[in-house]
Structure 1
Amino acid sequence: MRKAWIFGLLALMASMAFSCTDELQDPDKEVKYNGPTLENKDVVTLYSDSAKLLVKLQAPVQQEFENGDGVFPKGLYVEFFEKPGEMTSTLKANYAKQDKNKDVYLAKGNVVVNNIQKQEKLETEELYWDKNKQEIYTDKFVKITTAEEIITGKGLRANQDFSRYSITKVTGTFSLKEEE
Protein backbone atom coordinates (compact mmCIF):
# COMPACT_ATOMS: atom_id res chain seq x y z
CA MET A 1 0.00 0.00 0.00
CA ARG A 2 2.85 2.31 0.82
CA LYS A 3 4.41 1.67 -2.61
CA ALA A 4 1.13 2.54 -4.33
CA TRP A 5 0.90 5.75 -2.34
CA ILE A 6 4.51 6.75 -3.21
CA PHE A 7 3.93 5.82 -6.85
CA GLY A 8 0.75 7.97 -6.90
CA LEU A 9 2.62 10.89 -5.33
CA LEU A 10 5.44 10.59 -7.88
CA ALA A 11 2.91 10.45 -10.74
CA LEU A 12 1.16 13.57 -9.39
CA MET A 13 4.46 15.45 -9.06
CA ALA A 14 5.50 14.42 -12.58
CA SER A 15 2.23 15.59 -14.08
CA MET A 16 2.49 18.90 -12.20
CA ALA A 17 6.05 19.37 -13.44
CA PHE A 18 4.99 18.81 -17.05
CA SER A 19 1.95 21.03 -16.74
CA CYS A 20 4.03 23.88 -15.33
CA THR A 21 6.30 23.89 -18.35
CA ASP A 22 3.49 25.18 -20.63
CA GLU A 23 4.16 28.85 -21.25
CA LEU A 24 1.37 31.32 -20.80
CA GLN A 25 0.09 32.65 -24.11
CA ASP A 26 0.17 36.39 -24.76
CA PRO A 27 -3.49 37.26 -25.50
CA ASP A 28 -2.41 39.85 -28.08
CA LYS A 29 -0.59 37.14 -30.06
CA GLU A 30 -3.45 34.67 -30.09
CA VAL A 31 -5.37 34.22 -33.32
CA LYS A 32 -8.50 36.34 -33.03
CA TYR A 33 -11.78 35.93 -34.87
CA ASN A 34 -12.13 38.71 -37.47
CA GLY A 35 -15.35 37.57 -39.09
CA PRO A 36 -18.80 39.08 -38.77
CA THR A 37 -20.38 39.31 -35.34
CA LEU A 38 -23.88 39.48 -36.81
CA GLU A 39 -25.44 38.37 -40.08
CA ASN A 40 -28.90 39.43 -41.26
CA LYS A 41 -30.79 38.06 -44.25
CA ASP A 42 -33.31 39.87 -46.49
CA VAL A 43 -32.45 43.26 -45.02
CA VAL A 44 -34.56 46.37 -45.59
CA THR A 45 -33.21 49.57 -44.01
CA LEU A 46 -35.06 52.89 -44.22
CA TYR A 47 -33.34 56.26 -43.73
CA SER A 48 -35.63 59.19 -43.04
CA ASP A 49 -35.58 62.79 -41.86
CA SER A 50 -38.56 64.26 -40.01
CA ALA A 51 -40.60 61.15 -40.91
CA LYS A 52 -39.82 61.74 -44.61
CA LEU A 53 -38.38 58.67 -46.36
CA LEU A 54 -35.10 59.58 -48.07
CA VAL A 55 -33.42 56.23 -48.76
CA LYS A 56 -34.50 52.59 -48.84
CA LEU A 57 -31.66 50.05 -48.79
CA GLN A 58 -32.30 46.35 -49.52
CA ALA A 59 -29.83 43.46 -49.43
CA PRO A 60 -30.05 39.66 -49.40
CA VAL A 61 -27.29 39.50 -46.73
CA GLN A 62 -25.80 42.08 -44.39
CA GLN A 63 -22.87 41.26 -42.13
CA GLU A 64 -21.83 43.49 -39.25
CA PHE A 65 -18.36 43.50 -37.70
CA GLU A 66 -17.09 44.34 -34.23
CA ASN A 67 -16.00 47.85 -35.30
CA GLY A 68 -19.52 48.63 -36.58
CA ASP A 69 -18.69 48.34 -40.30
CA GLY A 70 -21.09 46.45 -42.52
CA VAL A 71 -20.59 44.27 -45.58
CA PHE A 72 -23.15 43.28 -48.19
CA PRO A 73 -21.42 40.26 -49.77
CA LYS A 74 -24.30 39.47 -52.14
CA GLY A 75 -24.85 43.06 -53.20
CA LEU A 76 -27.40 45.73 -52.46
CA TYR A 77 -30.15 47.78 -54.05
CA VAL A 78 -30.83 51.36 -52.92
CA GLU A 79 -33.76 53.63 -53.77
CA PHE A 80 -33.48 57.41 -53.30
CA PHE A 81 -36.55 59.58 -52.70
CA GLU A 82 -37.01 63.33 -53.13
CA LYS A 83 -40.65 63.59 -52.06
CA PRO A 84 -42.78 60.99 -50.27
CA GLY A 85 -43.53 58.18 -52.69
CA GLU A 86 -41.45 59.77 -55.47
CA MET A 87 -38.39 57.65 -56.21
CA THR A 88 -35.77 59.73 -58.04
CA SER A 89 -32.95 57.23 -58.54
CA THR A 90 -31.63 53.76 -57.75
CA LEU A 91 -28.22 52.23 -57.10
CA LYS A 92 -27.41 48.55 -57.57
CA ALA A 93 -24.12 46.68 -56.99
CA ASN A 94 -22.86 43.10 -56.65
CA TYR A 95 -20.97 43.89 -53.39
CA ALA A 96 -20.85 46.76 -50.92
CA LYS A 97 -19.07 47.74 -47.73
CA GLN A 98 -20.09 50.40 -45.23
CA ASP A 99 -17.58 52.41 -43.21
CA LYS A 100 -19.73 53.13 -40.15
CA ASN A 101 -17.53 55.95 -38.78
CA LYS A 102 -17.56 57.95 -42.03
CA ASP A 103 -21.02 56.74 -43.12
CA VAL A 104 -19.58 56.03 -46.58
CA TYR A 105 -20.50 53.01 -48.67
CA LEU A 106 -18.21 51.41 -51.25
CA ALA A 107 -20.16 49.65 -54.01
CA LYS A 108 -18.28 47.27 -56.32
CA GLY A 109 -18.99 45.00 -59.24
CA ASN A 110 -21.48 45.90 -61.95
CA VAL A 111 -22.52 49.16 -60.27
CA VAL A 112 -25.53 50.78 -61.94
CA VAL A 113 -27.17 54.08 -60.96
CA ASN A 114 -30.43 55.02 -62.68
CA ASN A 115 -31.93 58.51 -62.62
CA ILE A 116 -35.58 57.67 -63.14
CA GLN A 117 -36.76 61.23 -63.85
CA LYS A 118 -34.10 62.03 -66.46
CA GLN A 119 -33.90 58.46 -67.82
CA GLU A 120 -30.09 58.42 -67.45
CA LYS A 121 -27.93 55.48 -66.43
CA LEU A 122 -24.44 55.39 -64.90
CA GLU A 123 -22.37 52.21 -65.13
CA THR A 124 -19.03 51.62 -63.39
CA GLU A 125 -17.15 48.93 -61.46
CA GLU A 126 -16.62 50.92 -58.27
CA LEU A 127 -18.51 53.79 -56.67
CA TYR A 128 -18.52 55.53 -53.30
CA TRP A 129 -21.72 56.85 -51.74
CA ASP A 130 -21.30 59.43 -48.97
CA LYS A 131 -24.62 59.34 -47.14
CA ASN A 132 -23.96 62.51 -45.10
CA LYS A 133 -22.89 64.62 -48.09
CA GLN A 134 -25.53 62.95 -50.27
CA GLU A 135 -23.10 62.43 -53.13
CA ILE A 136 -21.58 59.63 -55.18
CA TYR A 137 -18.10 59.56 -56.67
CA THR A 138 -15.46 57.37 -58.29
CA ASP A 139 -12.07 57.65 -59.94
CA LYS A 140 -12.73 54.59 -62.14
CA PHE A 141 -14.08 54.27 -65.69
CA VAL A 142 -17.69 55.43 -66.09
CA LYS A 143 -20.30 55.12 -68.83
CA ILE A 144 -23.35 57.36 -68.81
CA THR A 145 -26.24 56.64 -71.14
CA THR A 146 -28.76 59.43 -71.78
CA ALA A 147 -31.66 59.57 -74.23
CA GLU A 148 -29.40 61.17 -76.83
CA GLU A 149 -25.83 60.03 -76.18
CA ILE A 150 -23.37 57.76 -74.43
CA ILE A 151 -20.58 59.51 -72.53
CA THR A 152 -17.51 57.64 -71.28
CA GLY A 153 -14.80 58.87 -69.01
CA LYS A 154 -12.67 58.37 -65.97
CA GLY A 155 -13.80 59.72 -62.60
CA LEU A 156 -17.16 61.17 -61.62
CA ARG A 157 -18.73 63.27 -58.89
CA ALA A 158 -22.53 63.59 -58.59
CA ASN A 159 -25.31 64.21 -56.13
CA GLN A 160 -26.82 60.95 -54.85
CA ASP A 161 -29.95 61.17 -57.01
CA PHE A 162 -27.68 61.49 -60.08
CA SER A 163 -29.53 64.58 -61.34
CA ARG A 164 -26.29 66.62 -61.55
CA TYR A 165 -22.88 65.16 -62.30
CA SER A 166 -19.45 65.98 -63.66
CA ILE A 167 -17.00 63.58 -65.27
CA THR A 168 -13.37 64.24 -64.37
CA LYS A 169 -11.90 63.16 -67.72
CA VAL A 170 -14.26 62.59 -70.66
CA THR A 171 -12.86 59.97 -73.04
CA GLY A 172 -15.72 59.73 -75.53
CA THR A 173 -19.16 60.97 -76.53
CA PHE A 174 -21.32 58.94 -78.87
CA SER A 175 -24.60 60.21 -80.32
CA LEU A 176 -27.60 57.92 -80.26
CA LYS A 177 -29.63 60.10 -82.63
CA GLU A 178 -30.01 58.97 -86.20
CA GLU A 179 -28.74 61.51 -88.67
CA GLU A 180 -31.09 62.36 -91.49
Structure 2
Amino acid sequence: MNEKKVLMEGKFLPSICFIILLWLGAACDEDPGAKKFIAYKGPLEEAENVQVLFSEKAILKVKVNTAKQIKQPNEDKVFPKPVFIDFFDPTGQNVITTLRADSGRLDNQTGVYRVMGHVKVVNTQKQQQLFTDELTWNPLTKKVFTERKVVVESMLSGERMKGTGLDANQDFSKYSIRKPDGFFNAPGGMNN
Protein backbone atom coordinates (compact mmCIF):
# COMPACT_ATOMS: atom_id res chain seq x y z
CA MET A 1 0.00 0.00 0.00
CA ASN A 2 2.84 2.37 0.68
CA GLU A 3 4.21 1.49 -2.72
CA LYS A 4 0.86 2.40 -4.29
CA LYS A 5 0.75 5.69 -2.41
CA VAL A 6 4.25 6.60 -3.57
CA LEU A 7 3.36 5.73 -7.18
CA MET A 8 0.21 7.82 -7.00
CA GLU A 9 2.10 10.76 -5.50
CA GLY A 10 4.66 10.41 -8.29
CA LYS A 11 1.87 10.67 -10.87
CA PHE A 12 0.23 13.69 -9.26
CA LEU A 13 3.37 15.67 -8.50
CA PRO A 14 4.03 16.68 -12.14
CA SER A 15 0.35 17.58 -12.55
CA ILE A 16 0.43 19.76 -9.43
CA CYS A 17 3.63 21.47 -10.65
CA PHE A 18 2.00 22.09 -14.04
CA ILE A 19 -1.08 23.65 -12.41
CA ILE A 20 1.10 25.88 -10.23
CA LEU A 21 3.08 27.03 -13.28
CA LEU A 22 -0.14 27.83 -15.16
CA TRP A 23 -1.42 29.80 -12.20
CA LEU A 24 1.88 31.74 -11.95
CA GLY A 25 1.82 32.40 -15.69
CA ALA A 26 -1.71 33.77 -15.47
CA ALA A 27 -0.67 35.99 -12.59
CA CYS A 28 2.03 37.56 -14.79
CA ASP A 29 -0.43 38.83 -17.40
CA GLU A 30 -0.06 42.53 -18.18
CA ASP A 31 -2.18 44.76 -16.01
CA PRO A 32 -4.49 46.67 -18.38
CA GLY A 33 -4.36 49.68 -16.05
CA ALA A 34 -0.55 49.74 -15.93
CA LYS A 35 1.25 52.49 -17.87
CA LYS A 36 3.59 51.45 -20.64
CA PHE A 37 7.23 52.49 -20.52
CA ILE A 38 7.98 55.27 -22.99
CA ALA A 39 11.65 55.88 -23.74
CA TYR A 40 12.84 59.46 -23.18
CA LYS A 41 13.86 61.01 -26.48
CA GLY A 42 14.69 64.51 -25.31
CA PRO A 43 18.08 66.12 -24.80
CA LEU A 44 20.70 64.45 -22.62
CA GLU A 45 21.83 67.77 -21.21
CA GLU A 46 21.45 71.51 -21.62
CA ALA A 47 24.08 74.11 -20.82
CA GLU A 48 24.00 77.89 -20.82
CA ASN A 49 26.71 80.44 -21.63
CA VAL A 50 28.98 77.89 -23.27
CA GLN A 51 32.52 78.67 -24.41
CA VAL A 52 34.66 76.18 -26.37
CA LEU A 53 38.35 76.89 -26.98
CA PHE A 54 40.53 75.31 -29.68
CA SER A 55 44.28 75.55 -29.34
CA GLU A 56 47.44 74.13 -30.90
CA LYS A 57 50.64 73.81 -28.90
CA ALA A 58 49.06 75.91 -26.14
CA ILE A 59 48.25 78.76 -28.57
CA LEU A 60 44.61 79.81 -28.83
CA LYS A 61 43.28 79.41 -32.38
CA VAL A 62 39.48 79.53 -32.13
CA LYS A 63 36.91 80.51 -29.51
CA VAL A 64 33.23 79.53 -29.84
CA ASN A 65 30.58 81.21 -27.66
CA THR A 66 26.86 80.59 -27.47
CA ALA A 67 24.10 81.26 -24.94
CA LYS A 68 22.71 77.70 -25.03
CA GLN A 69 23.90 74.21 -25.94
CA ILE A 70 21.68 71.13 -26.10
CA LYS A 71 23.26 67.67 -26.23
CA GLN A 72 21.10 65.21 -28.19
CA PRO A 73 20.82 61.43 -27.55
CA ASN A 74 23.12 60.82 -30.56
CA GLU A 75 25.71 63.10 -28.86
CA ASP A 76 25.24 65.89 -31.46
CA LYS A 77 25.21 69.36 -29.94
CA VAL A 78 22.64 71.95 -31.00
CA PHE A 79 23.12 75.68 -30.47
CA PRO A 80 19.61 77.18 -30.78
CA LYS A 81 20.71 80.72 -29.92
CA PRO A 82 23.24 82.94 -31.73
CA VAL A 83 26.73 81.52 -32.17
CA PHE A 84 29.86 83.69 -32.09
CA ILE A 85 33.22 82.35 -33.30
CA ASP A 86 36.53 84.20 -33.05
CA PHE A 87 39.52 83.09 -35.14
CA PHE A 88 42.90 84.20 -33.80
CA ASP A 89 46.21 85.17 -35.42
CA PRO A 90 49.22 82.79 -35.23
CA THR A 91 50.24 84.23 -31.84
CA GLY A 92 46.81 83.52 -30.34
CA GLN A 93 46.64 87.09 -29.04
CA ASN A 94 44.55 88.94 -31.63
CA VAL A 95 41.20 88.14 -33.20
CA ILE A 96 41.55 88.43 -36.98
CA THR A 97 38.18 87.05 -38.06
CA THR A 98 34.78 86.91 -36.36
CA LEU A 99 31.73 84.88 -37.28
CA ARG A 100 28.16 85.37 -36.12
CA ALA A 101 25.14 83.16 -36.91
CA ASP A 102 21.59 82.73 -35.60
CA SER A 103 22.15 79.08 -34.61
CA GLY A 104 24.39 76.10 -35.15
CA ARG A 105 25.10 72.46 -34.49
CA LEU A 106 28.05 70.12 -34.01
CA ASP A 107 27.89 66.70 -35.66
CA ASN A 108 29.46 64.39 -33.09
CA GLN A 109 30.50 61.71 -35.59
CA THR A 110 32.31 64.01 -38.00
CA GLY A 111 33.33 66.78 -35.57
CA VAL A 112 32.03 69.35 -38.07
CA TYR A 113 30.26 72.56 -37.03
CA ARG A 114 27.45 74.02 -39.13
CA VAL A 115 26.09 77.51 -38.51
CA MET A 116 22.84 78.76 -40.00
CA GLY A 117 20.82 81.92 -40.38
CA HIS A 118 22.17 85.39 -41.16
CA VAL A 119 25.77 84.21 -41.11
CA LYS A 120 28.20 87.13 -41.11
CA VAL A 121 31.97 86.75 -41.21
CA VAL A 122 34.27 89.75 -40.77
CA ASN A 123 37.97 89.54 -41.62
CA THR A 124 39.52 92.60 -39.97
CA GLN A 125 42.90 92.19 -41.71
CA LYS A 126 41.42 92.21 -45.22
CA GLN A 127 38.56 94.54 -44.25
CA GLN A 128 36.04 92.19 -45.85
CA GLN A 129 32.66 90.84 -44.81
CA LEU A 130 31.00 87.63 -45.95
CA PHE A 131 27.25 87.05 -45.83
CA THR A 132 25.47 83.72 -46.37
CA ASP A 133 22.68 81.53 -44.96
CA GLU A 134 24.86 78.62 -43.89
CA LEU A 135 28.52 77.76 -43.35
CA THR A 136 30.24 74.53 -42.38
CA TRP A 137 33.52 74.53 -40.45
CA ASN A 138 35.78 71.51 -40.03
CA PRO A 139 38.23 72.10 -37.15
CA LEU A 140 40.40 69.14 -38.23
CA THR A 141 41.03 70.38 -41.78
CA LYS A 142 40.73 74.05 -40.71
CA LYS A 143 38.47 74.65 -43.70
CA VAL A 144 35.15 76.46 -44.09
CA PHE A 145 32.73 75.85 -46.93
CA THR A 146 29.17 76.31 -48.14
CA GLU A 147 27.03 75.32 -51.10
CA ARG A 148 24.78 78.35 -50.58
CA LYS A 149 24.76 81.82 -52.09
CA VAL A 150 27.43 84.14 -50.72
CA VAL A 151 28.22 87.85 -50.84
CA VAL A 152 31.71 89.14 -50.06
CA GLU A 153 31.88 92.88 -49.46
CA SER A 154 34.87 95.17 -49.11
CA MET A 155 34.45 97.32 -46.02
CA LEU A 156 36.71 99.95 -47.62
CA SER A 157 35.23 100.33 -51.11
CA GLY A 158 31.78 98.77 -50.72
CA GLU A 159 32.52 96.54 -53.73
CA ARG A 160 30.55 93.29 -53.64
CA MET A 161 31.31 89.88 -55.10
CA LYS A 162 28.45 87.41 -55.32
CA GLY A 163 28.25 83.75 -56.12
CA THR A 164 27.19 80.29 -55.08
CA GLY A 165 29.42 78.07 -52.99
CA LEU A 166 32.58 79.00 -51.15
CA ASP A 167 35.74 77.32 -49.90
CA ALA A 168 38.02 79.07 -47.41
CA ASN A 169 40.59 78.49 -44.74
CA GLN A 170 39.17 78.89 -41.24
CA ASP A 171 40.34 82.49 -40.70
CA PHE A 172 39.04 83.55 -44.16
CA SER A 173 42.40 84.99 -45.17
CA LYS A 174 42.07 82.94 -48.39
CA TYR A 175 38.83 81.97 -50.08
CA SER A 176 37.36 81.11 -53.45
CA ILE A 177 33.80 81.46 -54.67
CA ARG A 178 32.83 78.32 -56.60
CA LYS A 179 30.41 79.95 -59.06
CA PRO A 180 30.96 83.72 -59.18
CA ASP A 181 28.01 85.78 -60.37
CA GLY A 182 27.91 89.36 -61.63
CA PHE A 183 30.68 91.90 -62.14
CA PHE A 184 33.55 92.95 -59.92
CA ASN A 185 36.75 94.92 -60.33
CA ALA A 186 39.84 92.89 -61.19
CA PRO A 187 43.23 93.91 -59.77
CA GLY A 188 45.20 96.36 -61.92
CA GLY A 189 47.58 95.11 -64.61
CA MET A 190 45.26 92.45 -66.01
CA ASN A 191 45.19 92.29 -69.84
CA ASN A 192 42.74 90.54 -72.14
TM-score after normalising by structure 2: 0.74
**1:133 maps to which residue?**
141
1:173 aligns with 2:180: no
Residue of structure 2 in register with 1:73 after alignment: 80
SS of the equivalent of 1:20 reads coil
Counterpart check, 1:34 vs 2:41: yes
Deviation at 1:35, TM superposition (A): 2.1
Q: Which residue of 2 aligns with 1:20?
A: 29
Quick one: distance in 1 between partners of 2:38 and 2:153? 49
Q: CA deviation at 1:22?
A: 4.9
Distance 1:56 1:21, change over 3 A: closer
Distance 2:113 2:138 in 1: 6
Q: 1:60 matched to which residue of 2? A: 67
Structure 1: which 5+ residue stretches go unaligned?
1-15, 176-180
Runs of 4+ residues deviating >4 angstroms: 16-19
Check if 1:162 corresponds to 2:172.
yes
- Give the length in aligned residue pairs: 156
- The runs of 5 or more residues in structure 2 that have no matched partner are 1-24, 186-192
Tell me the alpha carbon deviations over residues 104-142 of structure 1, each in whole angstroms, 9 at most, x when there is no partner.
111100001111111111000011111111111111110
Structure with the larger strand share: 1
Counting aligned pairs with the same residue, the percent is 37
2:100 pairs with 88, 92, 101, which one?
A: 92
CA distance in 2, matches of 1:41, 1:159: 29
The residue identity in structure 2 corresponding to 1:56 is K
1:174 Cα offset (Å):
5.0
Do residues 144 (structure 1) and 152 (structure 2) align?
Answer: yes
